[in-house]
Amino acid sequence: MRYAVGVDLGGTNLRVAAVREDGEMLRQVRCGTQVERGRDAVIDEMAAAVRQLADEVSAAGTLAGVGIGVAGILDAHNGTVREAPNLPGWEEYPVRAEIERRLGSPVVLENDANAAAAGEAWLGAARGAGSMAMITLGTGVGGGIVLGGRIWPGSRGMAGEFGHVVIFPEGPRCNCGNRGCVEQYASASAVVRAAREWAARGEAAAIAREIERRGAEFSAKNIYELAAAGDGPSREIFRRAGETLGILLADLVNVLNLEVYVIGGGMAGAWEMFAPAMFAELRTRSFVYKATAPADAEEALRGETSPEARRAAAPATAVVRAQLGPDAGLIGAARLAMQAEK
Ligand SMILES: [Zn+2]
């Protein structure tokens, strides 16, 4: 049987996994990425980790290829990194060709959000679906589209940037140069920024106390805990994030009419805080969703409909939570390598 190696290259961790073509995870390793040692050192380390893993699982079958998920804007056509904030000095460097040369295996370079979408489509919340999109809520907001079992790359591999869809035209300035992007409301950093603003206005005593107590460690998770304990301003921040996601989803559903929309990333853990506003907006704003929504709205709100239950029901639009957690990108990167080889 064939297997592929998936690599998740983050700013602090390098994770490598060997995944068989039937979806069995053979082995997974994690090492710290020493980005400060420079690009060539990171590439050497990655190549060594892949080689070692491939040696360890060589009895399991033949290596189909290596898929690498990287946070940033890539040029899939050229196999180069256009912009990767976590990987200084990688821009305009032939990453794919360099790694292929060192490993002697075909390499696929993919944006980490696209890799996560490929993973959830293969073995996660959207398995068995012909079409899906994934929205990843992390420090930023990423996305990926899978059509007919394959990532829709766009002409240069840059499709699926859902984080930069405009929600409020006069909203806060985004790193991308636009204003009022999804990322400015529904990312972990946006939630933290909103909480600091509430506290600075003197309107959120509980948040202000938490900021004082946590200092620089103050995070979206702290705001989630306040919201779960009933704090009004914290709940309002997540409601706003949910409203934003609902508007985004309404547009995606109207334009794409896919089977499944998966919400993943760290912020998806706050599901019950943002899902009610998200579904309310989605229902109000998308006639396509209204026409295709699952019959049981309560069940839909939980976001945990299994792929089996989804397929057993009449064709509908499912919006569900991701299932693979941080492994989605790793599994997806391996999947993409396998698909590329065929
Ligand atoms: Zn933006």
Q: Distance from the CA of 289 to the center of ligand 1, in angstroms? A: 25
| E strand residue ranges, the chain | 2-9, 13-20, 25-32, 62-70, 73-75, 80-83, 107-111, 131-137, 141-147, 150-151, 260-264, 318-321
Residue 134 near residue 143, CB atoms below 8 Å: yes
Q: 185 alpha carbon to ligand 1 midpoint, in Å?
A: 11
Residue 131 has pLDDT above 80, yes or no: yes
* Residue 132: predicted pLDDT: 98
Query: Helix axis angle, 112-123 relative to 328-341, nearest 10°?
Result: 80
How far away, in angstroms, is 127 Cα from ligand 1 center?
30
Q: Separation of 48 CA from ligand 1 center, angstroms?
A: 36
Phi and psi at residue 194, in whole multiples of 5°? -60, -40
Compute the mean pLDDT over every residue in the chain, rounded to the nearest whole number.
93
Residues shown for the chain: 342
Buried b (16+ CB within 10 A) or exposed e, 143-176: bbbbeeeebbbeeebbbbbbbbbbbeeebeebee
How many other C-beta atoms lie within 10 A of the C-beta of residue 308? Answer: 10
Ligand 1 is a single-atom ion; what residues have CB below 5 A from it? Answer: 164, 174, 176, 178, 181
Query: What is the reported pLDDT for 341?
Result: 66
Question: Who wins on pLDDT, 124 or 31?
Answer: 124
What are 112-127's pLDDT values in tens digits?
999 999 999 999 999 9
**Which two structure tokens, joined as six digits, stand for 18?**
């060997």
Confidence band (pLDDT; 50, 70, 90) for 328?
very high
Q: Give 190 Cα–ligand 1 centroid separation in angstroms.
A: 12
Q: Token pair for residue 322? A: 């991701």
Q: Does residue 59 surpass a pLDDT of 80?
A: yes
Give the whole-angstrom CA distance, residue 103 versus residue 120: 27
DSSP per residue, 285-329: H-HHHHHH--S-HHHHHHT---HHHHHHSPS--EEEE-SSGGGHH
Confidence (pLDDT) at 342: 55
